[in-house]
Amino acid sequence: MNRAKADCIPLLPVEELARRRRRHESSVGDIWTLLDDVMDPEIPVISLYELGVLQDISRDGDTVKLVLTPTYIGCPALGIMEEDARAALTAGGYAQVTVETRLAPAWTTAWLTPEARRKMAEYGVASPEAGGTTCPQCGSANTEVISEFGSTACKSLFRCVACYEPFDVFKAL
């Protein structure tokens, strides 16, 4: 039985689905691929796309336009992200680059790709999950908040009650 799109329950936030569609349907797929090598400066195992910061890419003649949404208003890493993206594009033959910082809709942890969540856990940073926070060291769900203020503004500091290891957790936004 065919169901209309309106009858479907989305598995992703509408904004994240739109972001994934923009990439999939983009006429500049080579630029998306080029930027897959630009890593988050604070968690250097995940790309800006996997983090959900890289929202869109377009071209107008020789100019490449990037749209970035920071994980947190005032994110100090945003400037580095922009510089790294510009450097990658310049090295790839795209010398003219403009960057738009878009604050709405606001970034959310729902935009983290499953691959980003896996890589973050291997790196020692947890992402909030519906069932609670799991320790990236031992996998225990028996964790507690030490401080709402972690190593960066977008993270909180937790401790695992099972293995006693402290770890950062992206704030559920």
Domains and CATH numbers, the chain: 5-109 (3.30.300.130), 124-170 (no CATH)
Helices in 92-141 by DSSP H: which ranges?
114-123
Type of residue found at 21? R
| Residue 171 to residue 117: CA distance in whole angstroms | 13
CB of 64 within 8 A of CB of 31?
yes
Residue-wise pLDDT for 43-87, tens only, equals: 999 999 999 999 999 999 999 999 999 998 888 899 999 999 999
Cβ-based burial of 9 (10 A; exposed 0-12, middle 13-18, buried ≥19): exposed
CB of 127 within 8 A of CB of 170?
yes
Average pLDDT over residues 7-25: 80
Residue-wise pLDDT for 81-105, tens only, equals: 999 999 999 999 999 999 999 999 8
